[in-house]
Structure 1
Amino acid sequence: MSNPLERVSRFVKQYDPAIEPLIFQEKLNTTEEAAQALGVEAGQIAKSILFRCSDRYGLFVAAGDVRIHPKRVKKCLEGGQPKMASPDEVAEITGFQVGAVCPFALQTEVPVFVDSSLERFPVVYTAAGIAESLLPVSFQALVEMTGARVIDAQSAE
């Protein structure tokens, strides 16, 4: 398997050769650390969380300052009780470690759901495959590259 950062870079180049991952000296372990490193608000950091309902997985991408509602996950995945995937499941399904999950260039194809809360920013930053990287993208590019369905992840509806 290739280096996760290289996998993300190759994938992004298909869409827009101008998009380059930003590499930092230190690991950015939290939304707050990433926002501080960039000098932006936490909401601009797009967190990607893998959920499982029964045997179905889905990747939910939301602004760093919002909470993804469990009822929304359950409705999107049409399954039983939603649970966050374990670190082992995250690595197996996405090909990325927890904290470095990029919402595209996934190892296994799963449905991706992007929260509309990210639309308020001209640029959002996703993980780019390793904990020391972030990828600046527009909301529209994020939706296009992930093939995602846009949802209101904070709503129970």
Structure 2
Amino acid sequence: MDNPLTRVTHFVHQFDPSLTPIIMEEEMHTAEEAATAIGVETAQIAKSILFRSKDRYGLFVLAGDKRLPSAVVKQCLGGRKQKMATVEEVLAVTGFQIGAVCPFALREKIPIFIDTSLQRFHMFYTAAGVPESLLELTYDQLATMTKGTEIEL
């Protein structure tokens, strides 16, 4: 069986063997919960949100204090109707449950869009595959690992 935390760890070690997910005692399902648990501001928790337009998916990685305007999703994914992916779609496409979506080591190859406002932090945190995990990264590490397209929010 596929272990999401092991998949993320193996993936990041290909880029930097010193990157290791942080495992907390409790699960964190929101950016606010993660920020409180690790002792940082909510903005330093990167949210990974999966959207769909027809049969095309895109993962948007944004700072915890940002909202994703529908116009940006439409610009990135095209099509008429853009919808947030369902719980089942998130698991099928990313291999992670909602609240633990890591922006890399995804099950399917899909475009990834990165909020450039994350550059304001020397370090920030992403989910690392399970609800009690976080991974500390720099913007450059995130951009390199995801090969993502930058977006301004």
Q: Same fold (TM over 0.5)?
A: yes
Q: Normalising to structure 2: TM-score of the pair?
A: 0.98
User: How much has 1:47 moved relative to structure 2?
Assistant: 0.3
- Percent sequence identity over matched residues? 56
Please, what is the CA RMSD of the aligned residues? 0.7
Alignment of 1:90-105 (within 5 A): 90-105=90-105
Conserved 8 A contact 2:126-2:134: yes
Gaps of 5+ in 2: none
* Aligned equivalent of 2:75: 75
Question: Post-superposition, which runs of at least 4 consecutive aligned residues in structure 1 deviate over 4 A?
Answer: none
* Aligned equivalent of 2:59: 59
In 1, distance between residues paired with 2:144 and 2:80? Answer: 29
Conserved 8 A contact 1:50-1:57: yes
Residues 95-130 of structure 1: CA distance to partner in whole angstroms, max 9, x if unpaired? 000000000000000000000111100111000000
In 2, distance between residues paired with 1:15 and 1:39? Answer: 26
Alignment of 1:16-31 (within 5 A): 16-31=16-31
Conserved 8 A contact 2:99-2:131: yes
Conserved 8 A contact 2:29-2:98: no
Residues 50-91 of structure 1: CA distance to partner in whole angstroms, max 9, x if unpaired? 000111100000000000111100110122211100000000
Aligned length: 153
Gaps of 5+ in 1: none
User: How much has 1:29 moved relative to structure 2?
Assistant: 1.4
In 2, distance between residues paired with 1:70 and 1:24? Answer: 33
